[in-house]
Structure 1
């Protein structure tokens, strides 16, 4: 039984678990002298080698006690929402619980721990959508908060409607209306904060046609996706929020753009500075290309200070 617990918990266990499996205090002390080691206070690791990350995450949850779950950046790490290791390790416990302060562990309290807990993932952790909402509430700016939503859905870790349900389940949510609006935009196919901004501040605000998001295209090199495609007019808008491209990404984007041009499509590419800094100018340019391609509509000014001039 002890071996099963140790295996399930990636090598970590509590003193209570050891005693419940029949070990005496003396037997535990003997193992600590020879084969085991202590981590995070009274939590043991059943070997004397390097402590892996999975073991540390388990140890943090065990240290926090019954009902504890990984949360925030640590739950995001466990499910692949972030690629880096969180420091400190974030754990949420029931509101009424008292937990001894331990270096390396950040404790959060919630009266929704049971509802937020993922039903099967181990170590115990919050559901992806609950993790996303938690992270939006720790942001300083709404743009950062929306970024968590787009990332979670872009990585196919959860769905927009699940995030919306998690928001609705909470009595207090900062930026509730804005987050729900962002969830709706992501549901249409926007997969990054830049794509959401283009949809709102360029396309909708200036009355442009509604483009198809993440439009799948089969090309000689395999399947790729156009960020925004105005299929009726053969116009593609690619949105790139990265400050700099890795070399391979550069070539991939160039190949995609070249393939679009060869296929008779007009390709426009914009970065964050364009869409965030000059949305009216971007709208005017897109509208000009669309009209050259056959669009019979006309863009509209987004407000009194709009810099757009009719094409």
Structure 2
């Protein structure tokens, strides 16, 4: 015989229930053990059971984490960013933000991260308790061991149009003090200027360091076939021509992709528009080589 109270709650939580919730609904430990014993429910952690017995979906795993973490737990970090739609930054390990002293049992596949910041300010609207995108990715950036990965995640949220540099800057102020805030603030300045990837951020940094005029980024152009394209970086030269620099990431090393890139560059080239290429690796590790070549091609310097 079904119980409408726990059934409705289980439906809202993708089939997951905590012992605390069940006690609040008057379901005894004996009843829980009986559901598990006859195969209707399954034990998922020391604090959580599921009303399904098969493998857990990604949504169910997220619910498992927040229910295990307690009433003030929420999905955080890149896991929260995934909930908000961030692509290509997924992690197998799920991050859960908690405010309690974390005296509960660890769960494989989850990272429980304690924060003293006000949960009411951090939590996003919705059934699943998840951190708002901006503080989630900024807190990730503050604690990620590798700075470049940290900044790359922040850039990706803007590149994928999930937020803006202005909103991130506002949250950066709200989260003060925050580790790496200076690096993130500098990054957001570049992103506000039009950079859409870490390679473009590196390019702008190199331009500042070597006195080269900063480029215009993501300019819409029609190629020779009439297709709309967006260029990585452009400079207007003294002779009236436009120099376009396309910065290729590692995926461009694929033969098929490299062929498409060269074809695209040919089709973008006109009598007044010259297209050249460099790799993201060069911009990061040998920026002086790229800067010298750009100056030789007529790109203005800041002094000029």
Common fold: TM-score over 0.5: yes
RMSD value over aligned CA atoms? 2.7
1:1-24 C-alpha deviation (Å, 9 max, x unpaired): 433322221111113333444545
Distance 1:24 1:146, change over 3 A: closer
1:213 CA drift (Å)? 0.9
Aligned equivalent of 2:196: 191
**Does the aligned pair in 2 maintain the 1:287–1:299 contact within 8 Å?**
no
Aligned equivalent of 1:250: 258
1:17 paired to 2:21 = yes
Q: Among residues 130, 139, 163, which one is paired with 1:158 in the alignment? A: 163
Rounded to whole Å, the distance in 2 between the matches of 1:264 and 1:122 is: 55
What's the secondary structure of 2:296's corresponding residue? helix
1:132 paired to 2:132 = no
Alignment of 1:52-201 (within 5 A): 52-81=57-86, 83=88, 85-94=90-99, 96-104=100-108, 105-201=110-206
Distance 1:222 1:18, change over 3 A: farther
Alignment of 1:216-295 (within 5 A): 216-219=220-223, 220=225, 222-230=227-235, 233-242=241-250, 244-246=252-254, 249-262=257-270, 264-290=272-298
1:190 CA drift (Å)? 0.7
1:166 CA drift (Å)? 2.0
**Does the aligned pair in 2 maintain the 1:117–1:124 contact within 8 Å?**
no
1:156 CA drift (Å)? 1.6
Distance 1:85 1:164, change over 3 A: closer
Distance 1:145 1:34, change over 3 A: closer
**Does the aligned pair in 1 maintain the 2:46–2:105 contact within 8 Å?**
no
1:17-56 C-alpha deviation (Å, 9 max, x unpaired): 3344454544433321221101022311111222112101
**Does the aligned pair in 2 maintain the 1:93–1:107 contact within 8 Å?**
yes
Worse overlay, 1-10 or 147-156: 1-10
**Does the aligned pair in 2 maintain the 1:68–1:93 contact within 8 Å?**
yes
- Runs of 5+ consecutive residues of structure 2 not aligned to the other structure: none
Rounded to whole Å, the distance in 2 between the matches of 1:84 and 1:150 is: 11
Worse overlay, 61-70 or 211-220: 211-220
Q: What TM-score does the superposition give when structure 2 sets the normalisation length? A: 0.85
**Does the aligned pair in 2 maintain the 1:40–1:60 contact within 8 Å?**
no
1:214 paired to 2:214 = no
**Does the aligned pair in 2 maintain the 1:136–1:145 contact within 8 Å?**
yes
Distance 1:298 1:147, change over 3 A: closer
Rounded to whole Å, the distance in 2 between the matches of 1:115 and 1:28 is: 32
Q: Among residues 8, 15, 20, which one is paired with 2:12 in the alignment? A: 8
What's the secondary structure of 1:195's corresponding residue? helix
